[in-house]
Chains A and B, each alone.
Chain A
Amino acid sequence: MNTILLQNLVNPNVNLPIVLPEMIVALTGVIVMLYDSFVPRQRSVTGAISLIGLAISAFFLVSMWNDAPQTGWNGMIASDGLRLSFTIVFLLVSAVTILISSVWADNEDVPIGEYHALLLFATFGMMFMASGNDLVIIFLGLETLSIATYVMAGLRRGDLKSNESAMKYFILGSFASAFLLYGMALIYGATGSTNITEIALKVANPNFPALLLVGGAMMIVGFGFKVATVPFHVWTPDVYEGAPTPVTAFMAVGSKSAAFASFLRVFVLGFPLIAGVQASEFLHESWVTALSVMAILTMTVGNIAAILQDNVKRMLAYSSIAHAGYAMVGFIGAGMAKNMQQRDAAIAAVAFYMLTYAVTNLGAFAIVTLLGQKNDRRTAFEDYNGIGFRAPALAFTLSLFMLSLLGLPLTAGFMGKVMVFRPALEANNLLLTVMVIAAAVNTAISAYYYLRLIVVMFFRERTTDWLAPRIPTALTAALLITVLGVLYFGIFSDGVIEKFSKSSVGTVFKAGTRP
């Protein structure tokens, strides 16, 4: 019988402080579930508990902000600039979603305690996607987020559209996860490890160079689905339209940012360009080219399809596809960075873009939730006819969000785009420059459908009766936060960018040196 001597055990390197934010979010989820089991259907109490939990988690995260980049749990968790900036975005998204959902909970019969718990566990998964430095953690975080979102999309159980949306999302989401997992298996095979930093080192002399390429391609398919880039975007409009609007807001903003975080972690930090090694150069060039082409297609298809839509939720869905394309520009800029400062600046730019995109989209979806009424009956463009002067506060706020999505100067959207295009231009590469030009052209095209909503609200005659809805307190809070965010990030973005530009774990090998 084999016996294990205690000194033969590997040190698990338990490092609770580094994962404290995630643990607090999970604990809050459990507390919410416990409370809900004793006193069901207390919307305000479970909402308040969730918000307090998220706030405490954010507090601990911010207290870690000035520490040097470090890894923990045997290299599985990395606490660096990427993790900190993205996690703040996730916590903000989650908090505002809870505020937006209050409208939904008031109007319809929703199991609100469980919904809040699911939201918190989804946030838990998202946070691990950002902080995971190992393929296992990234996969588990991704699945936690995805499974929670499948359930939340189908939560309006009496509604056929919601059921259909959940089922489509589930089937296509699992399909994509299988591709992602296959890619992870091949990368493990090619390099012998699942840890991102070790993979980055092993790319210099992989055991099976061909498997790196195939694995990378499969992972692009998997991540491409989650981020909703063309050609893997077909699920987005249907799923976003059918799900209840607060859940759509969460999916459009939260899932996408989390997918970007892990996408960045694996590709920019895991597959660096090591000059002089043929395998690494080929791999790097392949993924940069593939993603550039995908980015151009994504922006174009997203914008053109959005022009043709008659339903506001579908229009916002296609708009979110286009925005993912813009964010990819920054991503590729990070991939082409020539030294660590540029790379970290580019990662910070993508995180900042996600922040501005989050704030704007959450606000837009909040208003769509309110105006959509029970079961999202009223989400077509006609339902927005002429409400401009009858509910000026709402209409002007929605116009502000549309302008920010378009990218008008002084709004957050503009600063986000500027930040994200800069790393791509600095790379001095033909394909990247073409990509930035395409992005600029697409921004101009997108003016059509963003301005169309504003025109419809203010300058169309309404044929049916309409009473301005009363805005509940929680939604007012959400709108205040998002409007302030849009204006603040538009005007005072420098401070935020500087806060986000901390260094990331992992090294980039400068051209001409070998490890």
Chain B
Amino acid sequence: MATTALFFVFAGLAIACAISMVYHKNPLYSAISLIGVFVSLSVLYVTLAAPFIAAVQILIYAGAIMVLVVFVIMLLNMEEDKPLNRLRYLYAIGGGLGLILLVQTFFVFYAVMRAPKQAVNTEETIGKTMSIGTAMYTEYLLPVEIVGILLLMAIIGGVILVRKLSQPQMESMVERELERRHEGEDKDDYRIAL
């Protein structure tokens, strides 16, 4: 009973926050809505008896990734999106894709409803930290090590992309920027983000 209530409340909240995220033009509002989605999903993981994943979801997604995103939004001083002057066909593609995926969702829902039900064992302790920890260091040792290398590489990549430009690179960039603008025309607009 409690599970059902929780499911419907937080599922509704997740969908509402997701739609709000897509709808808002201001990137900061989108980011906050996305945090709302993450928190609702975390509660849903708890109803699915996965407490470790619920905690990690809050820690990593809401706590690390979204903080980074908000940081970057603030750093880049992003403004609201301007009204769309996009090519028409993009609307058609987006609408078509959305329709196909919705149909697919209903298909999956219908197929799973019709299949014979297997009783869910409510005593299982799969979601507990101990069982996840055990699995991580026995069956899933290799993926964990690969993730280690992946994270190392992401750090290296992130740093070399964002490091201050060295003098020759900066000079060539300035050179090219000057070439791009007509001489004397855009002198007042001359801004290069450093």
Contacts and interface: CB of A to CB of B under 8 A. Distances in A.
B157 A140 contact: no
Interface string A111-130: 10010011001001100100
A482 to B, nearest CB: 27
B161 A140 contact: no
B122 interface: no
Contacts of A125: 150
A186 B134 CA distance: 25
Interface in B151-165: 152-154, 156-158, 160-161, 163, 165
B139 A10 contact: yes
A158 to B, nearest CB: 4
Interface string A365-408: 00000000001000000000000000000000000000000000
Counting chain A CB atoms within 10 Å of each CB, the highest count among B125, B141, B160, B166 belongs to B160
A109 B161 contact: no
B140 interface: yes
Interface stretch (A147-155, A265-273, A459-467, A473-481): A147-155
Nearest to A77: B142
A154 B115 contact: no
B161 A148 contact: no
Contacts of B157: 118, 147-148, 150-151
Contacts of A137: 142-143, 146
Q: Name the prevailing secondary structure of the A interface residues.
A: helix
A11 B153 CA distance: 29
A209 B115 CA distance: 9
Nearest to B128: A2
A438 B170 CA distance: 50
A424 interface: no
Interface string B164-187: 011011101100100000000000
Contact of A12 (B130, B138, B160): B138
Given A154-B161, A211-B108, A121 B142 contact: no
B139 A74 contact: yes
Which size class do B's interface residues fall under?
35 or more
A33 interface: yes
Contacts of A243: none
Contacts of B170: 158
Interface in B107-146: 107-108, 111-112, 115, 118, 125, 130, 134-135, 137-143, 146
Given A109-B168, A118-B153, A154-B161, A214 B108 contact: yes
A211 B112 contact: yes
A12 B152 CA distance: 24
Given A14-B141, A157-B161, A158-B173, A114 B156 contact: yes
Contact of B112 (A73, A136, A148, A208): A208
Contacts of A74: 139
A30 B108 CA distance: 45
Contacts of B152: 30, 121
Interface residues of A, number: 49
Contacts of B156: 33, 114, 117-118, 121, 151
Counting chain A CB atoms within 10 Å of each CB, the highest count among B137, B139, B141, B158 belongs to B139
B147 interface: yes
A467 B77 CA distance: 47
A216 to B, nearest CB: 12
A136 B139 CA distance: 12
Contacts of B149: 26, 29, 121, 124, 144
B142 A76 contact: yes
A109 B153 contact: no
A163 to B, nearest CB: 9
A21 to B, nearest CB: 14
Given A12-B141, A158-B176, A211-B112, A144 B161 contact: no
Contacts of B104: 214
10 contacts: A2-B125, A10-B135, A26-B149, A76-B143, A121-B152, A136-B143, A143-B150, A148-B157, A160-B176, A208-B111
Interface of B: 104, 107-108, 111-112, 115, 118, 125, 130, 134-135, 137-143, 146-147, 149-150, 152-154, 156-158, 160-161, 163, 165-166, 168-170, 172-173, 176
Interface of A: 2, 4, 9-12, 14, 19, 26, 29-30, 33, 73-74, 76-77, 109, 111, 114, 117-118, 121, 124-125, 128, 136-137, 140-141, 143-144, 147-148, 150-151, 154-155, 157-160, 186, 207-211, 214, 375
